[in-house]
Structure 1
Amino acid sequence: MDPSISEEPLLLAPKYVTTTAHFSGDVEDIPEIHGVKDFFVQFRVESKKLWYLAAPAIFMSVSQYLLGFITQTFAGHVGTLELAAFSVENSVIAGFSLGVLLGMGSALETLCGQAFGAGQIDMLGVYMQRSWVILFVSSLLMMFLYIFATPLLLLIGQTEPISRAAGRLAIWMIPQLFAYAFNFPIIKFLQSQSKIMVMAYISAAALVLHTFFSWLFMLKLGWGLWGGAIVLNVSWWFMVIAQMLYIASGTCGEAWSGFSWGAFQNLWSFVKLSLASAVMLVLETWYFMALVLFAGYLPNAEVSVDALSICTNILGVAITIAIGFNAAVSVRVSNELGAAHPRTAKFSVVVVVITAFLVGCVLAALLGIFQHQYPAVFADSLAVQQAVYDLTPLLATCLIINEVQPALSGVAIGAGWQAVIAYINIVCYYVFGVPLGLVLGFVLNWGVKGIWIGMLTGTVVQTIILILICYKTNWDKEASLAGERIRKWSGQKEPVVGEE
């Protein structure tokens, strides 16, 4: 399937191509590659650009992931009920909200990245404000999920004590929901300009302060979950305010010229792209949640769920690395397409896929080396340790696939293919992967292995399709589409430079 033939209005074939030099360091497209030597020369050049973006993005992703992890760790020292309540609220309520809003904010990666590459710097701040408007309204709607968390958790089978404690915590965590709404557009706005390091520094500062004050309020002062909620809310808003102060200080130049009424224009088109981005990401998040859910219906459910939870936690840490590649390649592809550099954009895809694959292989190799030792780190039960050991080959395969797949999703975001990828995710994950997993796990009695093999097969099929799309894509046409998208979204009356 060629994404360029999508029926989405944003992806209609353009009449205009921008030829404005972009601002990420290149003046022109890379030359044609002839031979192995040329390939390795260009690979080295592109790898430097990729890691310049990916390394701080990985650090930022890990730091923000650890905020909730640290609060959960201290909650375990407050009490068993408090630990369960925070785990449920953080994974079900906040986790769902984070996935939706992060996905919606990803629309900004396409628009800001391509506009920056084309030199339409003044539009970046307007795009960010549009995203704020849409995510703020979405947060108002999702706030009811927090307000009615207790009956919702009871409905899906949680015990009454956990549901009530988690529901009370959810109401306390409403400020975090709105911090998500402002934070994710800011991240995409800064990422598109390759201003990643400042976000890494701010995340590191937030993590250090969060750790100290969580200990102080939750344990030392004895405030328990209430203290944890205060600190977690403040930590997320600290990042939002610090990043906004950085932007308002003038360091982004023309990208931020203050608040604009232009943020309220073209909202419906922005909503459609934001929803497509959200669906694309949420479908992937739910896929892994479904894996653990299905394991809970197996005969030996406790061991299966414990073993699978250990594996998914290890996979979650590895995915924080993949998120860095996702962010980096979305910036590279969107910048280069916006600058009308189709060969560079295409080569960026090749570099990130090879790099992500090699990183996944290294992680899988480390897992294989320590396969007899690592299960004991996470569980005392010999039955759980054996179950984790039995799942190690599948986990190693997942580590490789789930490094490559998010990188390819980043390509899709950078090119603006969110709607197409959302359809592909539905078919590969829920029409193919889930039914196959249920058949293997329950009908053929393969247990948790069967469920995971079936669902992993869906991910493999999706990854292969993404690779084929990237291979068959007409990148010259994608650069033209980017030029038309920039012209349309910037509200230009006249064609941009380069019109024939």
Structure 2
Amino acid sequence: MAEPLLGSGKERGDLEEIRSLKQFLKHWVEENKRLWYLAGPSIFTSICRYSLGATTQVFAGHLTTLELDAVSTENMVIAGLAFGIMMGMGSALETLCGQAYGAKQLHMLGVYMQRSWVILLTTCTCLLPVYLFATPILRLFKQDADIAELAGRFSLYMIPQLFAYGLNFPISKFLQAQSKVMVMVVVAAIALVFHVGLSWLLIVQFKLGLIGAATSLNIAWWIVVLAQFGYIAMGYCPGTWNGFSWGAFRGLGSFAWLSIGSAIMLCLEFWYYMIIIVLVGRLGNAQIAVAAVSICTNINGWEFMVFLGFNVAISVRISNELGARRPRAAKFAIVCVIMSSLTLGLIFFTLVLALKDVYGIPFTNSPDVIRAVSNLAVIFSFTLLFNSVQPVLTGRNSPMALIFS
């Protein structure tokens, strides 16, 4: 007979074969507890981090439509390109750290994280020209001249954020593989509260405009990086962090290819929205169009962070179960996460249709932009629904590959 699904400090066996609805419901409840234990904090953390940029867009939207367009273009196109690459390359650690933790090779987690730092910081350096020459790049794609000029200037201010991305994502995967998610929750919440307060002070009170927005956003991201690394360095990850190691510089070639593969799979989702913003910027009434679409993509980004939390949870669950040689339990986890994601997708679909005339109001004072956002409600609601499952099934630990294996 197979061992029970939940152990008591002992190594539990693989999931027993499910032969009845009662068995399915029992295991479904148990697996959902594990998934939500990982996904809940990950969703909260992802939403808080995404809200750093989204909050900046909200503040910019109450300055002028042009400044909203500039921040949105930088956030979705320039920073969006870097964010997608950094997060995608960092997601290679989901497999390596998850399986190393499941196989009790704890010391390798710290080595993998440092190796990822080397590769991602090198990539950040390669991406610098995109930030430095953002204005001519946007003009090359026929963007509105005023939007391109202001977005390019804002991109220069946001270079510190680029390098924060390169350090943050490996740290996040390192902590997630060990289920140390509560520290990430606390740090993300503190950074968001700090960012909202500082943005209000610099933008509303001191009238510093985009300089104030960039200052607040850069500081918030570096708070996230330094606070999480401080937690690790102070000894709260015994066995997995043993200090800096020269081993981080070994095997960089194969590790880089693994990171690039992860980036390609995950970046397509971000680049899709980046391309939309670029195309909309070529329309006749570009400022209204970019503002309306950026509001929708901003809200879609919040929803995407929810399902990205599920992606993180299922990646950790698959890595841990495969590392412990329990493939049947890994497949059952995939079934549970798909059901949960689809249910949430239907809820978001309904909310957008019900609130189509008001969900654009927090982002802008322009009646024309609010009206344009409302006109996009139907197609936007279907976008949210279709995107509810796709992010969960992609990533380095491809659930679809495991389902059909």
Tell me if TM exceeds 0.5.
yes
Alpha-carbon distance between aligned partners in 1 of 2:287 and 2:154, rounded to the nearest angstrom: 26
Counterpart of 1:53 in structure 2 is 38
Alpha-carbon distance between aligned partners in 1 of 2:284 and 2:142, rounded to the nearest angstrom: 18
Match 1:171 to one of 132, 153, 156: 156
Structure 2: tracts of 5 or more residues without a match: 1-6
Cα displacement (A) at 1:154: 2.1
Match 1:365 to one of 328, 331, 350: 350
Counterpart of 1:202 in structure 2 is 187
Match 2:383 to one of 392, 395, 398: 398
Alpha-carbon distance between aligned partners in 2 of 1:24 and 1:99, rounded to the nearest angstrom: 38
Cα displacement (A) at 1:300: 8.8
Structure 1: tracts of 5 or more residues without a match: 1-21, 418-465, 474-500
Cα displacement (A) at 1:49: 0.5
Q: Is 1:388 the counterpart of 2:376 in the alignment?
A: yes
Contact 2:357-2:374 at 8 Å conserved across structures: no
The amino acid across from 1:230 in the alignment is T
Correspondence list, 1:177-196, <5 A:
177-196=162-181
Alpha-carbon distance between aligned partners in 2 of 1:195 and 1:255, rounded to the nearest angstrom: 12
Correspondence list, 1:228-377, <5 A:
228-294=213-279, 308-370=293-355
Cα displacement (A) at 1:199: 0.4
CA gap of 1:407–1:165, structure 2 versus 1, over 3 A, is same
The amino acid across from 1:413 in the alignment is R
Cα displacement (A) at 1:212: 1.2
Alpha-carbon distance between aligned partners in 2 of 1:376 and 1:55, rounded to the nearest angstrom: 28
Alpha-carbon distance between aligned partners in 1 of 2:255 and 2:343, rounded to the nearest angstrom: 36
Counterpart of 1:124 in structure 2 is 109
| Equivalent position SS for 2:396 | helix
Match 1:104 to one of 85, 89, 101: 89
Alpha-carbon distance between aligned partners in 2 of 1:400 and 1:173, rounded to the nearest angstrom: 32
The amino acid across from 1:472 in the alignment is F
Q: Is 1:413 the counterpart of 2:396 in the alignment?
A: yes
Alpha-carbon distance between aligned partners in 2 of 1:256 and 1:285, rounded to the nearest angstrom: 32
Q: Is 1:65 the counterpart of 2:61 in the alignment?
A: no
Cα displacement (A) at 1:365: 3.1
Correspondence list, 1:8-23, <5 A:
none
CA gap of 1:70–1:309, structure 2 versus 1, over 3 A, is closer
Counterpart of 2:78 in structure 1 is 93
Cα displacement (A) at 1:385: 6.2
The amino acid across from 2:396 in the alignment is I
Contact 1:23-1:117 at 8 Å conserved across structures: no
- Measured on the aligned residues, the alpha-carbon RMSD in Å equals 2.8
The amino acid across from 1:191 in the alignment is Q
CA gap of 1:308–1:169, structure 2 versus 1, over 3 A, is closer
Contact 1:46-1:348 at 8 Å conserved across structures: yes
Alpha-carbon deviations, 1:385-419, whole Å to 9, x = none? 66335xx1x4333323211111111xx423xx5xx
Alpha-carbon deviations, 1:43-86, whole Å to 9, x = none? 11100000011111111111111111222233344555443332
Counterpart of 2:404 in structure 1 is 472
Percent identical among aligned pairs is 48
Alpha-carbon deviations, 1:9-31, whole Å to 9, x = none? xxxxxxxxxxxxx9998533222
Q: TM-score, normalised by structure 1?
A: 0.73
Alpha-carbon deviations, 1:427-462, whole Å to 9, x = none? xxxxxxxxxxxxxxxxxxxxxxxxxxxxxxxxxxxx
Contact 1:70-1:211 at 8 Å conserved across structures: yes
The amino acid across from 1:344 in the alignment is A
Counterpart of 2:27 in structure 1 is 42
Counterpart of 1:482 in structure 2 is none
Alpha-carbon distance between aligned partners in 1 of 2:288 and 2:217, rounded to the nearest angstrom: 32
More off after superposition, 216-225 vs 139-148: 216-225
Q: TM-score, normalised by structure 2?
A: 0.89
**Runs of 4+ in structure 1 over 6 Å off:** 22-25, 296-306, 375-379
Alpha-carbon distance between aligned partners in 2 of 1:174 and 1:304, rounded to the nearest angstrom: 27
Counterpart of 1:428 in structure 2 is none
More off after superposition, 369-378 vs 147-156: 369-378
CA gap of 1:407–1:62, structure 2 versus 1, over 3 A, is same
- May I ask how many residue pairs the two structures share in their alignment? 396
Counterpart of 1:152 in structure 2 is 137
Alpha-carbon distance between aligned partners in 2 of 1:196 and 1:300, rounded to the nearest angstrom: 44
Alpha-carbon distance between aligned partners in 2 of 1:174 and 1:307, rounded to the nearest angstrom: 26
Counterpart of 1:489 in structure 2 is none
CA gap of 1:261–1:146, structure 2 versus 1, over 3 A, is same
Which entry has the higher C-alpha Rg, 1 or 2?
1
